[in-house]
Amino acid sequence: MAGIYLHIPFCDTKCIYCDFYSITNHSKKAEFLNSIKKEIQFYTKQLADRKFDSIFFGGGTPSLLSYDEFTAIFDELYKSYNISDDTEITIEANPGTLDLEKLEVFKKLPINRISFGVQSFIDSELQFLTRIHSAKQAKESILAAKAAGFENINLDMIFALPGQTMDSWKYNLDEAIKLGTKHISAYSLIFEKGTMLYSMRDKGQVQNADIELEQEMYEYTMQQLSDAGYRQYEISNYTKPGYECRHNLKYWTLEEYISFGPSASSYIGNKRWTNIKNIGRYIELVDSGKPAHDFIETIDKDTSVTEHIMLGLRSVGINFEDFRKKHNIDFESAYTAPIETLITNGYAVKDAQSISLTRKGYAVCDEIVATLF
């Protein structure tokens, strides 16, 4: 089944490391909400034969929307598409934007999964990242979500911050584990071009964490979360049994997804497209009955094969039968030498059905794909 993504671009502040399209001016919110409903309607006929079992509200900060604003979007989605009864519906949230009262209201919506952008449980690190919440508020928001009846909760964490020590990362990870959420995403900090953080590094105000320290933090994360009962099913994602993010799995296993909103990317059939990263132009195009595309491409066979290998290795592995059906290629025969190299060096394990990376392999996944495939 396919997935649906909706990009809600509004934020209270722009974090220094974030390269997702977001804006702090909310003056066009009413126009945007009207346009995203029109964009949902635009693809109804094209996707009439698809069934959907995941919906993901990303951003930006989707939790800034009200109950009524969410209701209007859900009404349009359920009217326009064939949505499964057991659909996973995720909303990204900043801890500072949700309290128990609002969470109890949101529980009345179809939302059944919340992903909190916590990032750290140390106030000085949160201040550096320009997050709007404190460590105390982060914990309170997660506990409030549980109290409101949300069981499926993810928290995002970032390591390898400038000046961060191994001890401070251990503290952060321990605090995350204590909260007992079903899912934890732990990413190393990336200096994305165009962000304030990237500019700060250019000016010599900050610098990347030492690569050996970053590697130590990553290895500790994998071991510590495993010891706490989490299964790693992607380079940066860890889950309690049965709580894998269904929507994100679609990206990693090359399932179809349709996306709405400025900067949102879709993958349907052998086409991939991305919407324009400008809310005014997005509204203008959608309201005139045109697609809001900024970029569109047809995925050829070579690209499809490469992406299947890259995404498979960084997540659940490569199933040989699935690979053969999709590409008419026997993976084991076509890649005998790379497979042997991976196994010999302890980077991967293989059985009769599939090959997947070990923790050692996850740590150098990008290099493996670039050099062996």
Confidence grade of residue 373 (pLDDT, cut at 50, 70, 90): confident
Residue 65 has pLDDT above 90, yes or no: yes
3-state secondary structure at position 274 = strand
Query: Do residue 124 and residue 206 come from a single domain?
Result: yes
Query: Do residue 240 and residue 342 come from a single domain?
Result: no
Query: Do residue 157 and residue 70 come from a single domain?
Result: yes
Do 12 and 63 touch, CB atoms closer than 8 A? no
Residue 96 has pLDDT above 90, yes or no: no
- What pTM did the predictor assign? 0.95
Answer whether residue 202 is part of any domain: yes
Answer whether residue 289 is part of any domain: no
User: Residue 332 has what pLDDT?
Assistant: 96
CA distance linking residue 328 with residue 133, whole number of Å: 50
- Domains contained in the chain, number: 2
Closest CA to 18 of 114, 119, 97: 119
Write the CATH number for 39.
3.80.30.20
Mean pLDDT on 312-338: 96
Closest CA to 15 of 107, 113, 132, 123: 132
Answer whether residue 151 is part of any domain: yes
User: Residue 39 has what pLDDT?
Assistant: 98
Answer whether residue 270 is part of any domain: no
CA distance linking residue 92 with residue 12, whole number of Å: 14
- Rounded to 5°, the CA angle 156-130-106 comes to 50
CA distance linking residue 230 with residue 173, whole number of Å: 12
Long-range contacts of 292-295 (CB under 8 A, 24+ apart): 292/39, 292/262
User: Which of 252, 267, 293 represents a domain boundary (last residue)?
Assistant: 252
Query: Do residue 204 and residue 79 come from a single domain?
Result: yes
Residue 305 CB: number of other CB atoms within 10 A?
Answer: 17
Q: What would the pLDDT profile of 139-160 be if each residue is shown by its tens digit?
A: 999 999 999 999 999 999 999 9
Confidence grade of residue 349 (pLDDT, cut at 50, 70, 90): very high
Answer whether residue 43 is part of any domain: yes
Query: Do residue 26 and residue 148 come from a single domain?
Result: yes
Answer whether residue 243 is part of any domain: yes
Mean pLDDT on 248-273: 97
Answer whether residue 288 is part of any domain: no
Answer whether residue 259 is part of any domain: no
Q: Which domain holds residue 142?
A: 2-252
Residue 84 has pLDDT above 90, yes or no: yes
Query: Do residue 209 and residue 337 come from a single domain?
Result: no
Query: Do residue 227 and residue 364 come from a single domain?
Result: no
Confidence grade of residue 46 (pLDDT, cut at 50, 70, 90): very high
- The rounded percent of the chain whose pLDDT value lies above 90 is 97
CA distance linking residue 173 with residue 157, whole number of Å: 8
Query: Do residue 215 and residue 77 come from a single domain?
Result: yes
User: Which of 182, 217, 252 represents a domain boundary (last residue)?
Assistant: 252
Query: Do residue 171 and residue 55 come from a single domain?
Result: yes
Write the CATH number for 310.
1.10.10.920
User: Residue 97 has what pLDDT?
Assistant: 85
Closest CA to 51 of 87, 6, 82, 86: 82
